[in-house]
C-alpha cells in the first residue's frame, strides 16, 4: 500500500511476514530533480514486490533517486542494492557501515553468546534463522557515508542526520527542523518497544539508547515517522514511556535473579516476553537469540549502575546482585 504523508512525502508499506514488526515504512520524498527513499525492506521477494508496486504507484524514476538507510538491520537495508541504480547515492551511517567490512563476521558474536550461556547446539540454528543473516543486501553497496550533522537536501526538505546509538551503534534519525518532522527509524517506535541488544561487554547499548532518547527529547517535532507501523505526534510522551519501560525491565532482571548467580541466557529464560509461547523451551531459536541479547543489554546497564556484578574467569559469565 502506498499513501501520502504530506505534500511531496509518501509512505510505501512493506510487509515483513512472521515478524512482530509486521511492516516496514519506506518513506519516499519526491522533488523536481532528485528523490529520496528512506529504508527499503528485507532482501526477499515479498518485500521486493511491495517496493516495486509502490515505485510504480508513485511513478518514481529510480535513476533520479537516492537512498538513505537509518541503520544496518536487514529489514531497512536489505533491498538497497537491488533498487539503487548507477546514478543513485546510498547514504549510510559511517559507524553501521562497518558490518559490510570484509573482515567483519559473525563468529565473535556467536562466541560471545556461548560465554553467556547460549547452548552450543542452538547457536548454529540461531545464526541460520537470523533475518540479518538471511535477508541482508547482496554484495557491498557503494555508500556515501554520513555522520552526525550531515545534511541531505531533497526539494524543500532539509534533513539533518542525528546520530542516535542504542538500537544499533550507528543508528541515524533524520530531522527536518522547519517542517518539524522526525524520521525516527527504529530509535523510537509507537506500537512496540525498539529492540535493544548487546553482543559485547565493551558496549553499554542500553545506556547509549537512553542518552539518545534524551538527545531528541527537546526537538521541536510535530510528526514522528518511525521505521515501523504507526506515525505519531507526542514525541516527549513516547520517550517518557520508553524510559519507564526499560527501568521496569531492569527491575525485572533483578527480580528474576532474586539473589541467585545466573548467566544471561538463564535470566532471559525467566523474563516475560511478548510472544505466543508459554514455555521458553518452545521459543523459536531466533527469539531466544533476541531475548538473550536484550537481557545482556540490561545486565550491562545494571552493572554500570553498580546494581549487579559480572563474574568472569570461568567458561560462562554469570551475574549476581551487587
Ligand atoms: Zn532495526
Find out whether 201 and 163 touch, Cβ atoms under 8 Å: no
Output phi, psi for 299, to 5 deg: -65, -40
Task: Give residue 199 CA to ligand 1 midpoint distance, Å.
Answer: 15
Task: Give residue 71 CA to ligand 1 midpoint distance, Å.
Answer: 7
Nearest-angstrom CA–CA distance, 184 and 109: 27
Task: Give residue 190 CA to ligand 1 midpoint distance, Å.
Answer: 14
- With residue 247 as reference, give the H or E element that holds it: helix 235-257
Task: Give residue 261 CA to ligand 1 midpoint distance, Å.
Answer: 31
Q: What is the number of helices (H) and of strands (E) in the chain?
A: 10, 14
pLDDT means over runs of 10, the chain (322 residues): 96 92 96 97 97 98 98 96 96 93 79 94 85 82 94 98 98 98 98 94 96 98 98 98 98 97 98 90 92 97 97 93 90
Task: Give residue 20 CA to ligand 1 midpoint distance, Å.
Answer: 12
Quick one: pLDDT at residue 278?
86
Task: Give residue 312 CA to ligand 1 midpoint distance, Å.
Answer: 30
Task: Give residue 311 CA to ligand 1 midpoint distance, Å.
Answer: 30
Residues 6 or more apart in contact with residue 54 via CB below 8 angstroms: 2, 10, 12, 13, 14, 26, 28, 60
- Any idea where the domains of the chain sit in the sequence? 2-321
Residues 6 or more apart in contact with residue 227 via CB below 8 angstroms: 24, 25, 39, 70, 75, 76, 184, 185, 186, 189
Quick one: pLDDT at residue 124?
84
Nearest-angstrom CA–CA distance, 294 and 252: 12
Nearest-angstrom CA–CA distance, 72 and 171: 8
Nearest-angstrom CA–CA distance, 109 and 117: 13
Task: Give residue 208 CA to ligand 1 midpoint distance, Å.
Answer: 15
Quick one: pLDDT at residue 134?
84
Angle at 208 between CA 260 and CA 175, to 5 degrees: 145
Task: Give residue 271 CA to ligand 1 midpoint distance, Å.
Answer: 22
Task: Give residue 73 CA to ligand 1 midpoint distance, Å.
Answer: 5
Task: Give residue 194 CA to ligand 1 midpoint distance, Å.
Answer: 8
Residue 67 CA neighbour count, 13 Å, CB half: 26
> Between 285-304 and 205-217, two packed helices, what is the crossing angle to 10 degrees?
80
Task: Give residue 321 CA to ligand 1 midpoint distance, Å.
Answer: 31
Task: Give residue 65 CA to ligand 1 midpoint distance, Å.
Answer: 23
Task: Give residue 122 CA to ligand 1 midpoint distance, Å.
Answer: 23
| Maximal CA-CA distance, the chain | 63
Task: Give residue 313 CA to ligand 1 midpoint distance, Å.
Answer: 33
- The CATH code that applies to domain 2-321 is 3.60.15.10
Nearest to 211 by CA among 182, 179, 171, 174: 171
Task: Give residue 168 CA to ligand 1 midpoint distance, Å.
Answer: 7
Residues 6 or more apart in contact with residue 243 via CB below 8 angstroms: 210, 213
Q: What is the pTM of this model?
A: 0.95
Task: Give residue 258 CA to ligand 1 midpoint distance, Å.
Answer: 32
How many CB atoms neighbour CB 141 within 10 A? 18
Residues 6 or more apart in contact with residue 45 via CB below 8 angstroms: none
Quick one: pLDDT at residue 274?
87
Task: Give residue 320 CA to ligand 1 midpoint distance, Å.
Answer: 30
Q: DSSP assignment, residue 262?
A: B
Output phi, psi for 144, to 5 deg: -100, 105
Quick one: pLDDT at residue 147?
96
Quick one: pLDDT at residue 280?
95
Task: Give residue 167 CA to ligand 1 midpoint distance, Å.
Answer: 7
Quick one: pLDDT at residue 231?
98
Nearest-angstrom CA–CA distance, 131 and 280: 20
Task: Give residue 201 CA to ligand 1 midpoint distance, Å.
Answer: 20
Nearest-angstrom CA–CA distance, 306 and 322: 7
Quick one: pLDDT at residue 275?
85
Amino acid at each position: 500500500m502506498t499513501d501520502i504523508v504530506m505534500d511531496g512525502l509518501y509512505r510505501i508499506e512493506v510487509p515483513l511476514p512472521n515478524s512482530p514488526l509486521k511492516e516496514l515504512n519506506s518513506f519516499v520524498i519526491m522533488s523536481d530533480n532528485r528523490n529520496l527513499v528512506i529504508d527499503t525492506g528485507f532482501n526477499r521477494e515479498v518485500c521486493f514486490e511491495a517496493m516495486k508496486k509502490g515505485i510504480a504507484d508513485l511513478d518514481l524514476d529510480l535513476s533520479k533517486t537516492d537512498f538513505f538507510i537509518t541503520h544496518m538491520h536487514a529489514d531497512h537495508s536489505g533491498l538497497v542494492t537491488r533498487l539503487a541504480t548507477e546514478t543513485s547515492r546510498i547514504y549510510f551511517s559511517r559507524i553501521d557501515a562497518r558490518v559490510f567490512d570484509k573482515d567483519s563476521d559473525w563468529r565473535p558474536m556467536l562466541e560471545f553468546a556461548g560465554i553467556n550461556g547460549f547452548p552450543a547446539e542452538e547457536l548454529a540454528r540461531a545464526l541460520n534463522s537470523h533475518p540479518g543473516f538471511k535477508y541482508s543486501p547482496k554484495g557491498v553497496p557503494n555508500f556515501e557515508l554520513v555522520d552526525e550533522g550531515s545534511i541531505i537536501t531533497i526539494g524543500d526538505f532539509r534533513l539533518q542526520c542525528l546520530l542516535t546509538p542504542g538500537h544499533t551503534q550507528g543508528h541515524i534519525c533524520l530531522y527536518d527542523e522547519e517542517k518539524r518532522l522526525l524520521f525516527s527509524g527504529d530509535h523510537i517506535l509507537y506500537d512496540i518497544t525498539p529492540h535493544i541488544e548487546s553482543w559485547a561487554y565493551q558496549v553499554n547499548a542500553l545506556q547509549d539508547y537512553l542518552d539518545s532518547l534524551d538527545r531528541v527529547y527537546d526537538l521541536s517535532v510535530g510528526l514522528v515517522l518511525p521505521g515501523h507501523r504507526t506515525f505519531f505526534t507526542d514525541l516527549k510522551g513516547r520517550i517518557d514511556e520508553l524510559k519507564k519501560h526499560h527501568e521496569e525491565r531492569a527491575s525485572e532482571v533483578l527480580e528474576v535473579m532474586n539473589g541467585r548467580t545466573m548467566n544471561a541466557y538463564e535470566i532471559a529464560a525467566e523474563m516475560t516476553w511478548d510472544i505466543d509461547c508459554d514455555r521458553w523451551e518452545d521459543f523459536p531459536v531466533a527469539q531466544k537469540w533476541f531475548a538473550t541479547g536484550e537481557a545482556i543489554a540490561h545486565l550491562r546497564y545494571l552493572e554500570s549502575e553498580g546494581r549487579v556484578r559480572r563474574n568472569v574467569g570461568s567458561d560462562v559469565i554469570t551475574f549476581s546482585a551487587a
